Amino acid sequence: MDRKHLANAIRALSMDGVQQANSGHPGAPMGMADIAEVLWRTHLNHNPTNPNWVDRDRFVLSNGHGSMLIYSLLHLSGYDLSIDDLKQFRQLHSKTPGHPEYGYAPGIETTTGPLGQGITNAVGMAIAEKTLAAQFNRDNFDIVDHHTYAFMGDGCLMEGISHEACSLAGTLGLGKLIAFWDDNGISIDGEVEDWFSDDTPKRFEAYGWQVIANVDGHDPIAINTAIEEAKADSSRPTLICTKTIIGFGSPNKSGSHDCHGAPLGADEILATRKQLGWNYGSFEIPSEIYAQWNAAEAGSAKEATWNQKLADYEKAYPELASEFKRRTSGELPDQWQELSQKVIDDLQANPADIASRKASQNALEAFGKILPEFLGGSADLAPSNLTMWSGSKAISAEDASGNYMHYGVREFGMTAIMNGIALHGGFVPYGATFLMFMEYARNAMRMAALMKIQNIQVYTHDSIGLGEDGPTHQPVEQIASLRLTPNMITWRPCDQVESAVAWKLAIERKDAPSALIFSRQNLAQQPRNQQQLTDITKGGYILKDCSAKPDLILIATGSEVELAINSAAELAAQGKQIRVVSMPSTDTFDKQSVEYRESVLPSEVTKRIAIEAGIADYWYKYVGFDGAIIGMTTFGESAPAGELFKMFGFTVDNIVGKATELLK
């Protein structure tokens, strides 16, 4: 059968789906249909009957607005995505939302739509593949051997994150990464030449990529030749520059922005069918085309061959095979609970007054020896973030067997790459920067929360307590914004014990990203009994109680917990009944039972003071209108930390004064 006709099946389904929804982007799927047909039918190793086959090729549609392209491909290839699912495109509770969303339909490797992040996820997947292969492959046993393919458009290339990720991909020599640039010259606003005139091939050559330029994106032979050339170069990632016509086949709208983000219209669809020679009705695919597209049998055979290879590998390397299976299934080591709890118990028994960033490094040192799946990194701040431990080994183009990434000054790229690593599987990724610079990476963390995947971010230098670097580096509103993000877990521990608990829970939490907030300055370790040690995991707990019903409750996090303890002692000396609540994770506390939350913050005690060197407004939900908040309402200043804490009211005298006023 003519390959054009097979590609036209994609075009027909895409324009029909968008038309039925009366919403969507038909242009990109119609323009990239020929490329997709060659890649998916000739080169992509996948198994529609087992979308989670460990050694499958990964496919990422970075230009996610063209989502009907991937939905059509999945349906035609034999995945569990029916024609009725395609008819429900962009409808409530459908498996085919407006942009591809991870977890909705089988075969969707990542959520895409925010441009540039898909190709960056793909870089993360390629890093994971290369590193996992270096750690587990042995002579004659390439049990990790797959490619990562990504489609992207002009918008992905305009977004700065693509520079961050693709630059690093070249440096790391990710030879199994192959990206296709849909060079159609059109975006929503029209012809891009007036605002995007970069020499893209030279840009990627400068990154160290193999660049295959001037490929006719509608010529299957040229496309196939380009893919073969890309696969032959194992030392460099490849950019295939495919010249396409957006909305290919539409007689009146192809080649213009009219078909970018709007349905073609019923009359234009009829004209397109005629021009393409597609003589079938809406959502109608003849059986002979389904037969040519269906990849279930071939995919099952490919996986069976791999399964036999894995079985032979297991006979030759039983311990490695067992570890490979454990890691790729996402399971923690058998003794994890016992060993990790011992680390925490030992820390409580051996007090140390240290910065929580140092406590974080100590936790990494302890847990890293248990978790070979750790894949850490930092955005050029490892000596400050303390994200390296004695077992850290840098990953490079020449040797990818390590467990640590030097991401360079690429906060956004780092975070989205980590999403790709997590989605690939086999690793527990963590990264780091100063808390202030999570602003560069916010959207990638939001995507991790949206996808419900693990991404552990270490954010240090957590307040005005970092001092002399001044307000450009001093976070104020950042912790609150992290806490307000749905499905994100945020921890701001007060000492080395809470820090280790935060790390333990972040490692165990596979369905949400975690933001671990650590201090630059030293923090005093707090005494605890066994019940209090257990209650840390609940996000908020009574750290110091009084002998009767509390007159007032002090609620604090991080470096301000010690301040709350000292203030409580001063107030107790005045005859006041004061309870101190440490609340390292407000979102975790909010998920506890009503009974537990009431036991910590009884509703009858309305006199409360929240103390945190972050934006004050966040804390009204805990102190109400009868309480007070000692927090930030402005940006910081450049001065030593001690002077700043005094200036902004983080002192025992100020807290005691506020308490006295509340208790009048």
pLDDT tens figures, 538-552: 999 999 999 999 999
Q: Name every residue whose Cβ is closer than 8 Å to that of residue 606 and which is 6 or more positions away in sequence.
A: 624, 626, 627
Give me the DSSP letters along 200-252: HHHHHHHHT-EEEEEEETT-HHHHHHHHHHHHH--SS-EEEEEE--TTTT-TT
pLDDT tens figures, 274-315: 999 999 999 999 999 999 999 999 999 999 999 999 999 999
Look at residue 1 and tell me whether its pLDDT is greater than 80: no
Q: How far apart are CA 325 and CA 16, in angstroms?
A: 42
Binding-site residues, in ranges, read 25, 65, 113-115, 154-155, 184, 186, 260, 357, 384, 437, 461, 469, 473, 520
What pLDDT sits at residue 578?
A: 98
What pLDDT sits at residue 245?
A: 98
What pLDDT sits at residue 249?
A: 97
Q: Which H/E stretch holds residue 355?
A: strand 354-355
Q: How far apart are CA 274 and CA 38, in angstroms?
A: 23
Q: For residue 620, give both structure tokens.
A: 């009204």
What architecture does CATH give domain 536-663? 3-Layer(aba) Sandwich (3.40)
Q: 175: how many CB neighbours lie within 10 A of its CB? A: 21
Strand order of the β-sheet with 628-632 is 541-544, 578-582, 552-556, 608-615, 628-632
Q: How far apart are CA 245 and CA 32, in angstroms?
A: 8
Give, in degrees to the nearest 5, the angle at Cα 128 between 122 and 129. Answer: 90
DSSP for residue 436: G
pLDDT tens figures, 203-225: 999 999 999 999 999 999 999 99
With bands split at pLDDT 50, 70 and 90, how would you rate the model's confidence at 2? Answer: confident
Q: 323: how many CB neighbours lie within 10 A of its CB? A: 16
Q: 20: how many CB neighbours lie within 10 A of its CB? A: 18
What pLDDT sits at residue 236?
A: 98
pLDDT tens figures, 152-208: 999 999 999 999 999 999 999 999 999 999 999 999 999 999 999 999 999 999 999
Is there a common fold for 335-517 and 536-663?
yes
Binding-site residues for substrate, in ranges, read 25, 260, 357, 384, 461, 469, 473, 520
Q: Which residues pair with 183 in a beta bridge?
A: 243
Give me the DSSP letters along 463-529: SGGG-TT-TTT--SSHHHHHHTSTT-EEE--SSHHHHHHHHHHHHH--SS-EEEE--SSEEPPPP--
Closest CA to 409 of 440, 448, 388: 440
Give the pairing of strands 456-460 and 428-434: parallel
The pLDDT of 38-55, averaged and rounded, is 98
Q: Return the exposure string of 146-156: e unless at least 16 CB atoms fall within 10 Å of the residue's CB, then b.
A: bbbbbbbbbbb
Q: How far apart are CA 551 and CA 663, in angstroms?
A: 8
Task: Please give the distance of CA 29 from its chain centroid, rounded to a whole number.
Answer: 26
Q: How far apart are CA 341 and CA 602, in angstroms?
A: 30
Give me the DSSP letters along 154-200: HHHHHSHHHHHHHHHHHHTT-TTEEEEEEE--EETTEEGGGT----H
What pLDDT sits at residue 492?
A: 98
Strand order of the β-sheet with 148-152 is 58-61, 148-152, 177-183, 238-243, 210-216
Q: Tell me the C-alpha to C-alpha distance, in Å, between residue 111 and each of 238, 251, 423, 429, 658.
A: 23, 32, 10, 18, 48
Binding-site residues for Mg(2+), in ranges, read 154, 184, 186
pLDDT tens figures, 606-631: 999 999 999 999 999 999 988 999 99
Binding-site residues for thiamine diphosphate, in ranges, read 65, 113-115, 155, 184, 260, 437
Q: Which H/E stretch holds residue 414?
A: helix 411-424
The mean predicted confidence, pLDDT, of the chain is: 97
Q: How far apart are CA 432 and CA 381, in angstroms?
A: 8
What pLDDT sits at residue 570?
A: 98
Give me the DSSP letters along 539-553: S-EEEE--SSS-SEE
Q: What percent of the chain has pLDDT over 70?
A: 100
The pLDDT of 117-129, averaged and rounded, is 98
pLDDT tens figures, 573-605: 999 999 999 999 999 999 999 999 999 999 999
| pTM as predicted | 0.98
Domain ranges of the chain: 3-300, 335-517, 536-663
In a 3-state reduction of DSSP, which class is residue 132? helix
Was domain 335-517 assigned CATH 3.40.50.450? no
Look at residue 53 and tell me whether its pLDDT is greater than 80: yes
Look at residue 148 and tell me whether its pLDDT is greater than 90: yes
Q: How far apart are CA 399 and CA 301, in angstroms?
A: 32
The pLDDT of 322-341, averaged and rounded, is 97
Q: How far apart are CA 257 and CA 250, in angstroms?
A: 12
Helix, strand, coil content of the chain in percent (nearest 5) = 45, 15, 40
Q: Which residues pair with 59 in a beta bridge?
A: 149
The pLDDT of 27-34, averaged and rounded, is 98
pLDDT tens figures, 511-527: 999 999 999 999 999 99
Backbone Cα Rg of the chain: 28
Q: Which CATH number does the domain 3-300 belong to among 3.30.360.10, 3.40.50.970, 3.40.50.720, 1.10.4080.10? A: 3.40.50.970
- Enumerate the active-site residues: 411
Q: For residue 622, give both structure tokens.
A: 């805990």
**Ramachandran class of 277: left when φ > 0, alpha when ψ lies in -120 to 50, beta otherwise:** left
The pLDDT of 80-90, averaged and rounded, is 98
Q: How far apart are CA 61 and CA 70, in angstroms?
A: 7
With bands split at pLDDT 50, 70 and 90, how would you rate the model's confidence at 438? Answer: very high
